Amino acid sequence: MAKVGGLADVVGALPKYQIQLNHIAKVVMPMHKTTFLLSNEWDVEFKGSILMQHQHINYTIIKEKYNSLGFDLYCVDILGLLDRETVYGYDDDNFRYIAFQMAVVDWMSQWQHQPDVVHVHDYHAGLIPFFMRYGKAYAHLSSIKTVLTVHNAQYQGWMDWNFANYFPSFDQWKSGMLEWNNQINPLASAIKCADKVTTVSPSYMQELMYQANGLENLFQYEKGKCSGIINGIDYEIWNPETDKRLTHHFNIDTVAQGKLRNKQFLCETFGFDIQLPLIIFIGRLVGEKAADLLPDAIHQSFERYYNQFNVLVLGNGNPAVEYALSSIRERWYGYYHSQITYNETLSHQMYAGADFLLMPSRVEPCGLNQLYAMRYGTIPMVRRTGGLNDTVLDIGDGGYGICFNQASVLDIVYSIGRAIELFKHQETISNIRQKMMTINNSWNKSAAEYIELYYSIYR
């Protein structure tokens, strides 16, 4: 329906797997004007109105007609507010998300059968637990259990107190459940109000205790209800044996030949030598991913290990990083190429054809790229942080990855050197691929953990 990052991958997969475990899971999200919206059929489920200060806001709940994603998908349509092509980044985002959350709670308050658990994600839905628990008009929802999942604590939805005038009526002495650092902070509010708080990996939850963009003390105070559940990946989509985006399919028994044929396609497309190790980077070109380090790290690596490896970068983001990555193409022609774009098909092909995936992230709450890579027999090169620390074990410790400690040019260059040396030992590469591809990173395990979490507060 709409995708910006890992949150979409989680919400698009978790409910499907929960349904397979014989539970009822429904997804509610803003109605963005996307290709999915326009190419599918929808039924009008409900029409309602909310009062925001002195303004009546009409909303419509639409439901995707044929359950094409494997679960019931509902979208909140508010004319002029939510029906936009871009997910967020507008000057009126605070107002937009308040309206969305109020519409959800108002609609839910009129259901004949109430849900057992309401599971909200990040600050964009962070006010819902407060509205349910303390909104005077929604007192009958206050007993419903709520769960918050924090995908990225750097973004918290801060807003001035005048925005409280738009909220459903509540007792002012409850304002402390909204406040952090003298502002309304939706993420902080959700941490305070939700019955359970999860992050997308155990290591990221530990990191938030001392690095949470100002919420460290709150996470420490509420640590009794906090836990980390590692994300899974959707094996129906990420399967090298059936992936429609690949030029050649393979499985664990045919991985060597299959990867070689996919690598040949990439090398022919971008002018690389197939005999050299192919290292890829896929992701947003932003500081959290340490993308700003890539141009210098690639340049220094080629100076040190000239004509010993290839690099292919796919992503977009910071214009300065985009320019820097594009500008070094000519210098290292034949060994380096960048595609400054978002291309889902090419990303699948890269996972299938590459030898190594580089993830030097400064912040990586869970990380999915390393899981995709392992599923496709590509060795991850990762910084030990967040979910990368939980999912990738260094080959020196009997694992299947190349791990380093600092998001720095020096550590990246050193790791590329390790990859070049490892590539010379193809029998070891083969053993690592076999080990990676047998690891179960599917959503089955994670979905069961979430169900158990729900039961812990519902029973």
Ordered alpha helix ranges (H), 41-87: none
**pTM (predicted TM-score):** 0.88
Question: Is 31 within 8 Å of 76 (Cβ atoms)?
Answer: yes
- Residue 212, classified by CB atoms within 10 Å of its CB into exposed (0-12), middle (13-18) or buried (19+), is buried
Tokens 């005999």 locate to 275
Residues paired with 30 in a beta bridge: 76
pLDDT for 417 equals 98
Q: What is the DSSP string of 266-333?
A: HHHHHT--TTS-EEEEES-BSGGGTGGGHHHHHHHHHHHSTTS-EEEEE--B-HHHHHHHHHTTTTTT
Tokens 């179960």 locate to 440
Number of Cβ atoms within 10 Å of the Cβ of 300: 15
Span(s) in the chain for CATH 3.40.50.2000? 6-232+444-458, 255-441
Q: Report the distance separating Cα 398 and Cα 409, nearest Å.
A: 26
First to last CA, the chain: 33
What's the CATH number of domain 6-232+444-458, 3.30.360.10, 3.40.50.2000, 3.30.530.20, 3.40.50.280? 3.40.50.2000
CA distances from 168 to 53, 61, 121, 132, 279 (A): 9, 19, 20, 10, 52
Round the CA-based radius of gyration of the chain to a whole number and report it: 23
Of 172, 192, 199, 181, which Cα lies nearest the Cα of 130?
Answer: 192
Q: Report the distance separating Cα 254 and Cα 222, nearest Å.
A: 48
pLDDT for 240 equals 98
Instruction: Looking at the structure, give the CATH architecture of the domain made up of residues 255-441.
Output: 3-Layer(aba) Sandwich (3.40)
- Residue 209, classified by CB atoms within 10 Å of its CB into exposed (0-12), middle (13-18) or buried (19+), is middle
> Cα angle at 243 between 238 and 249, to 5 degrees?
115
Residue pLDDT tens, the chain, 459 long? 998 878 998 999 999 999 999 999 999 999 999 999 999 999 999 999 999 998 999 999 999 999 999 999 999 999 999 999 899 999 999 999 999 999 999 999 999 999 999 999 999 999 999 999 999 999 999 999 999 999 999 999 999 999 999 999 999 999 999 999 999 999 999 999 999 999 999 999 999 999 999 999 999 999 999 999 999 998 888 999 999 999 999 999 999 999 999 999 999 999 999 999 999 999 999 999 999 999 999 999 999 999 999 999 999 999 999 999 999 999 999 999 999 998 999 999 999 999 999 999 999 999 999 999 999 999 999 999 999 999 999 999 999 999 999 999 999 999 999 999 999 999 999 999 999 999 999 999 899 999 999 999 987
pLDDT for 6 equals 81
pLDDT for 297 equals 98
pLDDT for 234 equals 87
Q: Report the distance separating Cα 71 and Cα 56, nearest Å.
A: 31
